[in-house]
Each structure stands twice: as structure tokens, then as C-alpha cells.
Amino acid sequence: MDAHFHIRRLSDRLLFIHWSQSPDSENEDAFLVELRWMLDESAGQQYVLSDLRFGRISSLRTLQQLAKLTEHARFAGSTAFSEAPRTKTLVGTFQAFAHKSGSRNEMHEKLEDALAFLESLEEGITAGIDWSALMDHPTSS
């Protein structure tokens, strides 16, 4: 299976998800398994930043399961960025499913706004990361 996503740990508290294209159901399932594993294996609270410029989950079933992960004991909050109107709608659906978890989750058009939101959740969470290099090569380790 050719993965349509890549999850990187940018720090001990920040996960970065990059979608290279919109996934099929097999890739969606693999994504949920990997994200749950990363949360399970984390020592503390995790924030998630998702790059949805080139792909996104569109299955309601998967969005519901992803929203359920916001109830995970180590899930602290998330943000995503993309300028695509369809993506905003899908993230809104995710937010509606996730509302009862108590975690904070927002969608932004620009990376800078998503980073500012993360900083509002935990000051310093985005410091020390070369964001320009990451955006140029989002799947490099």
C-alpha cells in the first residue's frame, strides 16, 4: 500500500500529519491505526498539526473515528491548515463530531494561523522547528 499520509513527531508534544493526496479506505484505516499507536506510545499530552493542502479524509465513518481519538487521554488539541473550501467543510464535520471531547480543534487557511492557535494552547510548542524546511519537505524525517 502506498501511504497517502505521513505522521512525524516534531517534538515530544507535537505530531505533524501531511496528506499527499486524499486517501482510500485502506489508507484511512492505516492512518487511524498509526495515529492511535502514536498517542498510546506518547509519554504525555500531544498536539496535532495537519497539513491538508494536498489531501484530506472525506469519509464520514473515518471522521467519526478520528473525532473519537480526541477523547484519548493524551490528545490535547489539534489544528489543520488548507485554503480549500471542501476541506474546511470536512474539518467542520470533524469538529462537530469531536465537540464532546473537550479538546480544542481549529481549522485555518494558513500555516502561520495554525501555529498561532497551537501557541494559544501551549506557549512555546512551535519553537525550534524549521517550518520553512518542513513545508518544503513535509515527509522528510
Q: What is the dihedral of CA 98, 10, 80, 134, to 10 degrees?
A: -170
Q: Name the residue with higher pLDDT: 118 or 140.
A: 118
Model confidence band, residue 113 (pLDDT cutoffs 50, 70, 90): very high
Q: Domain boundaries in the chain?
A: 5-136
pTM of the complete model: 0.89
What is the identity of the amino acid at 79?
T
Residues recorded for the chain: 141
Q: What's the CATH number of domain 5-136, 3.50.50.60, 3.30.70.120, 3.30.750.24, 3.30.365.10?
A: 3.30.750.24
Q: At a CB cut-off of 8 Å and minimum separation 6, what does 39 contact?
A: 46, 69, 72, 74, 75
Distance, in Å, from the CA atom of 60 to the CA atom of 130, rounded to the nearest integer, reads 34
What pLDDT does 139 receive? Answer: 81
- Express as a percent the part of the chain with pLDDT over 70: 87
Q: Does residue 3 register a pLDDT over 80?
A: no
Report which of 39, 46, 16 is spatially closest to residue 111, judged by C-alpha positions: 16
Q: What are the b/e assignments for 7-36, b being 16+ CB within 10 Å? A: bbebeebbbbbbbbebbeeebbbbbbeebb
State pLDDT tens for residues 62-90. 888 888 888 899 999 999 898 887 766 76
What pLDDT does 98 receive? Answer: 67
Model confidence band, residue 103 (pLDDT cutoffs 50, 70, 90): low
Report which of 114, 110, 139, 141 is spatially closest to residue 126, judged by C-alpha positions: 114
Q: What are the b/e assignments for 108-132, b being 16+ CB within 10 Å? A: beebeebbebbeebeeebbeeeeee
Q: Does residue 108 register a pLDDT over 90?
A: no
Distance, in Å, from the CA atom of 86 to the CA atom of 98, rounded to the nearest integer, reads 18
State pLDDT tens for residues 23-64. 888 999 999 999 999 999 999 999 999 999 998 888 888 888
